[in-house]
Chains A and B, each alone.
Chain A
């Protein structure tokens, strides 16, 4: 079974440019998470989706960050415009809530560098 897929794996952009990250969760998983991982830190939740609905986005900086999960499967996280402080790894995770085990499985992440 394929794991969580993320693309691109690496992205380098200049500040003030827009950037987007894509996540394909494990097949059948109804819950999807985006986490931010700064260098030397643990991941921090940005947003959680249950199917198509964003049910916890309290930590998402809504002035520049946006996310969507159309049709309750793939998800895209966007930053516009990017700032130097956005350089980090953006992790996507998925889980199956209500299916017996709801362990969160993480993708490899997208490493963003803002110059």
Chain B
């Protein structure tokens, strides 16, 4: 099955700095890579995703890059704010348009943004 490794497990940055979280996956058939943010006491919330036919995607302060050859993908958050503090999970999946799919999650990165 798919194995997703995520690093670092904890990350502390100053407000305004950038944060980078990296993930690797093992299943070369995986084609969908979402990132979820989980705040305390809440369920994971999708913040950005990327498909295997795209190398980079950006949404305001958040960007994700994918290297299919190396089987790794990264989340980049610029101009971090205290409200970005949360646990971030990467995931990998084989996704098709005709059925549901299992998300294989990494172990998470606890991000702390200090004012």
Complex interface residues of chain B between 67 and 101 (CB less than 8 A to chain A):
89, 91, 95, 97-101
Supposing A41-B107, A42-B91, A42-B106 touch, asked if A106 and B100 sit within 8 A by C-beta, the answer is no
Q: Which of A41, A44, A95 contacts B100 (CB 8 A)?
A: A95
* B54 adjacent to chain A (CB < 8 Å): no
Q: Report A32 CB to chain B, min CB distance, Å.
A: 9
Task: State in angstroms the CA–CA spacing of A31 and B43 once bound together.
Answer: 17
B contacts with A: majority SS: loop
Bin the interface of chain B by size.
20 to 34
- Give the residues in chain B near A42, CB-CB below 8 Å: 4, 6, 89, 91, 105-108
Supposing A42-B107, A98-B97 touch, asked if A48 and B102 sit within 8 A by C-beta, the answer is yes
- Give the residues in chain A near B101, CB-CB below 8 Å: 102
Complex interface residues of chain A between 71 and 115 (CB less than 8 A to chain B):
91, 93, 95, 97-98, 102-109
The residue in chain A whose Cβ has the minimal distance to the Cβ of B97 is A98
Task: State in angstroms the CA–CA spacing of A45 and B1 once bound together.
Answer: 12
* A4 adjacent to chain B (CB < 8 Å): yes
- Give the residues in chain B near A40, CB-CB below 8 Å: 107-108
Task: State in angstroms the CA–CA spacing of A95 and B107 once bound together.
Answer: 23
- Give the residues in chain A near B49, CB-CB below 8 Å: 103
For the complex, count residues of A whose C-beta is within 8 A of B: 27
Supposing A41-B108, A42-B91, A42-B107 touch, asked if A55 and B100 sit within 8 A by C-beta, the answer is yes
Task: State in angstroms the CA–CA spacing of A25 and B54 once bound together.
Answer: 30
Q: Which of A31, A43, A44, A95 contacts B44 (CB 8 A)?
A: A43
- What are 13 pairs between A and B in contact, CB < 8 Å? A43-B89, A44-B105, A48-B102, A50-B99, A50-B100, A56-B100, A95-B100, A97-B97, A97-B100, A102-B100, A104-B34, A105-B46, A106-B44
Q: Which residues of A contact B (CB under 8 A)?
A: 4, 31, 33, 35, 40-45, 48, 50, 55-56, 91, 93, 95, 97-98, 102-109
Q: Which residues of B contact A (CB under 8 A)?
A: 4, 6, 34, 36, 41-46, 49, 89, 91, 95, 97-103, 105-108
